């Protein structure tokens, strides 16, 4: 693992609140979680605790509600990437095959800028830096987890400390690769597991995973500015962030632009 602290400071994240947002999630309720929509894509505010696609154990999933997001098109949108079950925030969908091909090229080419916020235990060794490791899946019995292993897939995360107090820190995370559980493993590798992480942190905290996909920036359209969408802080993270100085009043809404 290499930890480097040579990054230039990132500018503050800007906020784009949902134009259509409801208080909860349920069958057919995804229209209320749309953050952005145009002819190619949708960006929705994924709720924590919901899998993005059906799993072997059953339970609710987002894909089963995608038919409500057709908005006049003959077929429902499809996932352009994934978020963990317990991670909330910006989730990008392609509205038709052409859009999915374009999004696939952007994600696989590392051209999509993703920003996450996390509340972690402790404090990282440097105020900002870069984590670069191999990640490998370790299967034990009926369960599995990702581990740092030089023979695994290359995974890179940039991080920046936003605030720290009372034994916890608020981090901005910028993944440069998209490996399974990457941010959660990398925070643990820093000695700062994500609060509420049942696999790599304290599974008994009862606070829910304190990690969310804050924003996504897509260079989707030639000769036009990149599209940036920001999701609101999820309710289960508000109290913890407020204790470290987050103020929703100073995180003002902005219009999404394409």
**Annotated catalytic residue, options 29, 61, 84, 247:** 84
Diameter of the chain measured on Cα atoms: 52
Name the token pair of 213. Answer: 């996909």
Determine how many CB atoms are found less than 10 A away from the CB of residue 180: 15
- What is the C-alpha to C-alpha distance for residues 83 and 37, in angstroms, rounded to an integer? 19
Active site (annotated) includes residue 38: no
Question: 239: which residues sit within 8 A by CB, 6+ positions away?
Answer: none
Q: Coil, helix or strand for 239?
A: helix
- What is the C-alpha to C-alpha distance for residues 219 and 103, in angstroms, rounded to an integer? 10
* End-to-end Cα separation, the chain, in angstroms: 38
Q: Looking at the chain, how many residues does it have?
A: 258
Residue found by looking up tokens 């996504």 in the block: 216
- What is the C-alpha to C-alpha distance for residues 121 and 95, in angstroms, rounded to an integer? 39
- What is the C-alpha to C-alpha distance for residues 73 and 39, in angstroms, rounded to an integer? 10
Query: Do residues 194 and 182 touch, judged by C-beta distance below 8 A?
Result: no
Q: Which residues are catalytic?
A: 84
């Amino acid at each position: 693992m290499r930890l480097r602290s040579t990054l230039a400071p990132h500018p503050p994240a800007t906020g784009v609140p949902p134009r259509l947002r409801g208080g909860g999630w349920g069958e057919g309720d995804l229209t209320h979680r749309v953050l952005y929509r145009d002819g190619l894509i949708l960006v929705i505010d994924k709720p924590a605790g919901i899998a993005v696609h059906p799993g072997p154990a059953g339970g609710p999933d987002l894909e089963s509600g995608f038919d409500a997001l057709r908005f006049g098109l003959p077929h429902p949108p499809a996932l352009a990437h994934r978020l963990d079950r317990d991670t909330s925030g910006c989730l990008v969908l392609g509205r038709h095959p052409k859009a999915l091909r374009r999004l696939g090229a952007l994600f696989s080419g590392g051209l999509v800028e993703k920003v996450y916020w996390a509340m972690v235990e402790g404090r990282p060794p440097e105020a900002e830096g870069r984590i670069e490791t191999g990640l490998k899946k370790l299967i034990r019995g009926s369960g599995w987890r990702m581990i740092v292993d030089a023979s695994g897939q290359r995974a890179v995360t940039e991080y920046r400390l936003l605030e720290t107090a009372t034994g916890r820190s608020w981090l901005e995370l910028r993944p440069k690769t998209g490996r399974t559980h990457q941010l959660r493993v990398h925070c643990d590798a820093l000695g700062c597991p994500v609060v509420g992480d049942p696999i790599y942190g304290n599974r008994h905290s009862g606070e829910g995973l304190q990690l969310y996909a804050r924003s996504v920036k897509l260079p989707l359209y030639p000769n036009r500015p990149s599209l940036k969408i920001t999701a609101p802080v999820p309710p289960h993270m508000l109290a913890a962030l407020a204790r470290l100085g987050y103020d929703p009043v100073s995180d003002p809404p902005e219009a999404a632009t394409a």
